[in-house]
Amino acid sequence: MVVFGRSGTGKSVLLKCLIRLMEPDSGEIYVEGQDVGNLDHKSLNELRKDMGFLFQSAALYDSMSVRENLEFPLIRNFDLNQSEMNERVNGVLEAVSLEEAIDKMPSELSGGMRKRIGLARSIITKPKLMLYDEPTTGLDPITAKEISSLILELQNKFHMTSIVVTHDLLCAKIIADYAIVLNEGHIIHEGNIDELVSSKDEFLQNFFSDEVINTNGRD
């Protein structure tokens, strides 16, 4: 599912509330049948093991190599021996086609490579739910299309549910089964991408017209 909306309308806040990096002002959030807001620390951490989060910046630890970045969530959350960790690390690097980057530092990676490594780290715990916050922001159009295709490929390979916040209409067209549009914190439209883009609704016409212009500008 793709989440659209103007800047400041609550898209990234929605993702952070789902994983309880932020607390909602009101209402309830259920993930896998569990009320996220009422979970104790241990139960919340157990739930988070089933959730991956790709931040806009990829949020890699600059002082750690790619290998160490990927091992970090495994060491924190699982009791794996080194052989098991190596298998997972090599597996996710193969999935994002960056096996050769295993001993590089984040500063040695391009923006697209950093996104791929961030994605690899997000899926290394084998999450059931992946949350993406602007996964193609700051990337050139070719790399953005590659990352979008990779998101779809990994979703199908690992059978994950994905929620993607994006302004990138091309990304949405590649990956989305369904989309919602937020405005001032409320869902005002929902449907598939073609339905939303071709809608006669004035807000949607203005929104997607602006998005196409902005995307072309970034190109």
Q: Give the H or E element holding residue 24.
A: none
Say what percent of the chain tops pLDDT 90.
44
Q: Name which of 63, 85, 65, 64 is nearest 76 in CA terms.
A: 85
Residue-wise pLDDT for 46-86, tens only, equals 898 889 888 776 688 889 999 999 999 899 888 889 999 99
pLDDT digits over 138-155, tens only?
888 888 898 899 888 888
* Average pLDDT over the chain, rounded to an integer: 88
pLDDT for position 10: 85
Q: Which 3 state secondary structure label does DSSP give 115?
A: helix
Q: What's the CATH fold of domain 2-218? A: Rossmann fold (3.40.50)
Residue 214 pLDDT > 90: no
Model pLDDT, residue 216:
44
- Helices within the chain (DSSP H only): 11-18, 41-48, 66-77, 82-95, 111-123, 141-158, 169-175, 193-197, 202-218
Q: What are phi and psi of 51, to 5 degrees?
A: -125, 135
**Count of CB atoms situated within 10 Å of the CB of 116:** 25
> Cα dist. 198→169, 173, 195, 205 in Å?
13, 13, 5, 8
The pLDDT of residue 212 is 52
Q: Is the pLDDT of residue 218 over 50?
A: no
* 192-204 pLDDT per residue, tens: 999 998 888 888 8
Residue 50 is classified by DSSP as T
SS3 216: helix
Distance CA 66, CA 60 (A): 8
pLDDT, tens digit (0-9, with 9 covering 90-100), for 13-49 = 899 999 999 998 889 999 989 999 999 999 998 898 8
